Structure 1
Amino acid sequence: MAPIVLVHGIFNHVPGAAPERAAERQVANCRPRLIDNLARLAVEAPETVMAYYADLLRPDLPEHAQGAGDDADFDSLDAPGRAQAAEWLAAAGAVAPADPQNVALQPLRQMLGWLLDERGSRLTRAVRERTIRSLERTIVTSLREVEAYTTWPHRRDLVRERVAGVIRRQAPAVVIAHSLGSYVTYETLHAHPDLEVELLVTLGSPLRVPSLARRLDPALRAGRGAKPAGVGRWVNIADVGDLVAVPPKLGEVFPVDADETCDTGIGFHGLGGYLANGLLAAAVTPYIS
């Protein structure tokens, strides 16, 4: 049985570990969720391999392009970064700035808090503040890692070559790409049209986040993306509360074959919650059983 290839998202750097060891560690952390999920359908999970690239986003980068850290907050962003964050929150449904020229001056935490309240969250003050901090860190880290990935063409090529190499060696029927990994995988499969994947599953994908979508390679044409030539079926799954997967419904821009929403119930963006969701099991089962 061909293995499943996972492509990780943000928050996956393993400092000091060789890429192979980091990939094994990531698989060990998340594979049990997939095993248990498929077992509900009496399906045995195939071998799972992680396409690990987080190390390539770290070396020799300027400080502002580094990934997650203690300073991953809105205050650490420059004016263009604040504008991108405000645009991101507006795409998620927060109150849009009245004056587009002053988007970088918007109170970002206020926008984020308003969005959290609008979505019906009933949290204590302490939990609300922790949640806002976590969401803030996720948005800032995503912006930084996309910047690290897209700013220098050679780094983008290194990441895509790494991911393409894993897919080529493993020859999977199924590729599951999470978060920033869906962005990387979309570009990788376009850059390597010889790679054939029967099923691509994107989870919590930021492909429609405005500031990220503008950087895509290949670029959108007339506001539309294209399915990579080697992909048979493309299923997109997004948690209803996932602020990385905004605006919702990739199908409005990309030719996905199925656009599903779910409620993972544990965490709004984590890979584990998605791997444990029944929609994922239903999508992959025909390709591994």
Structure 2
Amino acid sequence: MARVVLVHGIAQQFQGPELLSLRLAAAARDGVRLSSELVFGPEDVACAFYGNVFVEPGTRAGDLPAWDEHDVEEGLEAELLDVWWQRAVEIDDQVAPADEGEARGWPAYAATRPLRSGWVRARLNALAQARFFQPVAKRLLVSELKQVRRYLDEPPVWQAARAAVAAEISAETRVVVAHSLGSVVAYEALCENPGWPVTDLVTVGSPLGLPLIHRRLSPLPVEGRGAWPGGVVRWTNVADPGDVVALVGSLAPHFVSGPVGKVEDRTLTNGVRMHDFERYLTAPKTATAIAAGLRESSA
């Protein structure tokens, strides 16, 4: 069974565990080999797949509804859209502060304010110009908002996602590497299972520090600080400052300390593919964290 388990993020419903493993497992092995000269084989890496939980029974993965601004729900979906837009404005000069005209003077979204489709449309239009999101269609942006909301709010979804991680954990598993929403899935699964043999958690492109995500974590944070993830000894978090999803790049202040200290935060640059899981996996700052866990398990 696998010593390293990879956990993907959102928008993978068109994939599958074997297909993802072809790319992601190879990227992880390449990264470790090139950065540390430590070699581990294909049998040592598995991909926990949960993208299928977002596919409605009786439909195909490609049957994506023609969602638009009218389909973004008040609450988490609208809040997350606004957060992504505000961050994109900060880091990308191609994104206007808002569409020209009426949107420029609109206040930040508030849950008590009736959600106006124009407010949403302005942000979707702005994000469509962002380097980070190109060439994502606006209906795919809406789909991604809904996947985050469904994982956090719908028990059958988060139960199935965490079960997908559990299915790949074996007595040999020492390192979990989790990307984007997958870092939330992996974190919560590890908290639920403190007896797992996992010693190292590596999160990349993670939204775990984002307030609207952090305050909904399971278990709930206490006095603003999240629990340590189960029996993990070392937790390394890697973020590209241009990664809109990893809006809060430093997780150490937001989680309690672990057995050998707090979360170790590392920054890197993934080029134009800021949020790409493969880029994170091949980066030395990620790969050395994976290698450290593998070396400890072999000692």
* Deviation readout 1:233-253 (Å, 9 max, x if unpaired): 000001111111112211221
The RMSD of aligned alpha carbons is 3.4
1:11 aligns with 2:5: no
- Specify the code of the residue in structure 2 equivalent to 1:151: D
- Specify the code of the residue in structure 1 equivalent to 2:249: P
| d(CA) in 1 for partners of 2:132, 2:200 | 37
Aligned to 2:237: 236
Q: Displacement of 1:24 after TM fit?
A: 1.8
Aligned to 2:277: 271
TM-score normalised per structure 1: 0.78
TM-score normalised per structure 2: 0.75
Residues 83 and 103 in structure 1, CA contact (< 8 A), matched pair in contact too: no
| d(CA) in 2 for partners of 1:235, 1:145 | 25
Cα distance change on mapping 1:140 and 1:247 into 2, 3 Å: farther
Q: Displacement of 1:70 after TM fit?
A: 6.3
Cα distance change on mapping 1:38 and 1:83 into 2, 3 Å: closer
Q: 2:26 aligns with which of 32, 45, 61?
A: 32
| d(CA) in 1 for partners of 2:185, 2:268 | 23
Aligned to 2:158: 156
Cα distance change on mapping 1:197 and 1:158 into 2, 3 Å: same
Q: Secondary structure at the match of 2:233?
A: strand
Number of equivalences:
268
Cα distance change on mapping 1:253 and 1:151 into 2, 3 Å: same
Aligned to 1:119: none
Percent identity between the aligned chains?
Answer: 31
5+ residue gaps in structure 2? 91-96, 98-105, 257-261
Q: Displacement of 1:216 after TM fit?
A: 1.6
- Specify the code of the residue in structure 2 equivalent to 1:148: R
Give matches, 1:102-141, under 5 Å: 102=113, 104-105=115-116, 107=119, 131=133, 134=136, 140-141=142-143
Q: Secondary structure at the match of 2:13?
A: coil
| d(CA) in 1 for partners of 2:201, 2:286 | 11
Q: Secondary structure at the match of 2:136?
A: helix
Q: Displacement of 1:213 after TM fit?
A: 2.5
Structure with the largest fraction of helix: 1
1:187 aligns with 2:184: no
Cα distance change on mapping 1:265 and 1:138 into 2, 3 Å: farther
1:285 aligns with 2:291: yes
Q: Displacement of 1:29 after TM fit?
A: 1.7
| d(CA) in 1 for partners of 2:242, 2:63 | 21
Q: Displacement of 1:58 after TM fit?
A: 2.3
Aligned to 1:85: 81
| d(CA) in 2 for partners of 1:91, 1:222 | 26
Q: 1:52 aligns with which of 36, 49, 54?
A: 49
| d(CA) in 2 for partners of 1:193, 1:253 | 20
5+ residue gaps in structure 1? 16-21, 117-125
